[in-house]
Amino acid sequence: MNENKRYSVSVIGDSDCLVDSICYRLAYETGMLLADNRYYIVTGGLGGVMEAADKGAHASKYYEFGDTIGYLPGNHTALANQWVDRPIPTSLGHVRNAIVAQSDAIIAVGGAAGTLSEMCFAWIFDRLVVGLTCNGWSKELAGKKIDNRIRFPHIKDDCVFMASNPIEAVNLINQKLPQYLGI
């Protein structure tokens, strides 16, 4: 990959994920590792997994202001969790999930219907998608194709890649992103 260019990774998952839950811890570690690897962290800007990933990015020794970007469903920046550096109100409700799915890659941590929509949008938009096998849709789709289309003829193992922990997830992003971006 281009050493001078920074890429974005969306961390998606359940907004109701509690601070003391495993999905919160996994999202926190994912956000920190992504920042350690100099990725921009994109979320939906609210609580749960989104808050955890943004907070984790802030814990990285490589964190810089601007590393966390939150596409909010409403029209007020005040609704963003406190760890979002760049809150972007969309006034689109769940339709904003299509914007969140426009990052260079996506890591799903658990999740319900909103996460499923983001994973499907990412698949449609030909993005690299990684699912942590913790629970929800990320576990359900990890290791599978969302549909039978051939998105990349040169990537024979294209699917929602399975990761059992944040280290595996970020390693998959580092390894596979050049193939998906054609660099």
106-153 confidence digits (pLDDT tens)? 999 999 999 999 999 999 999 999 999 999 999 999 999 999 999 999
Residue 7 lies in a domain: no
pLDDT in tens, 41-70: 999 999 999 999 999 999 999 999 999 999
Domain assignment of residue 174, given as a range = 14-181
1-5, 47-51, 92-96: the lowest-pLDDT one: 1-5
Residue 99 lies in a domain: yes
Among 139, 168, 170, 143, CA closest to 158: 143
* pLDDT over threshold 90, residue 2: no
Residue 41 lies in a domain: yes
Q: What is the DSSP letter of 37?
A: T
User: How would residue 104 be classed by pLDDT, with cut points 50, 70 and 90?
Assistant: very high
Residue 152 lies in a domain: yes
DSSP 129-164: EEEETTSHHHHHHTTS-SSS--S-TT-TT-SEEEES
Residue 3 lies in a domain: no
Residue 37 lies in a domain: yes
CATH number at residue 25: 3.40.50.450
Neighbour-count burial of 50, counting CB atoms closer than 10 A to its CB (0-12 exposed, 13-18 middle, 19+ buried)? buried
Mean pLDDT calculated for residue range 9-37: 97
pLDDT value of position 1: 67
Report how far residue 106's alpha carbon sits from residue 119's, in angstroms, rounded to the nearest whole number: 8
Residue 84 lies in a domain: yes
State the pTM of this model: 0.97
* Total domains present in the chain: 1
- Mean pLDDT of the chain, nearest integer: 96
User: How would residue 3 be classed by pLDDT, with cut points 50, 70 and 90?
Assistant: confident
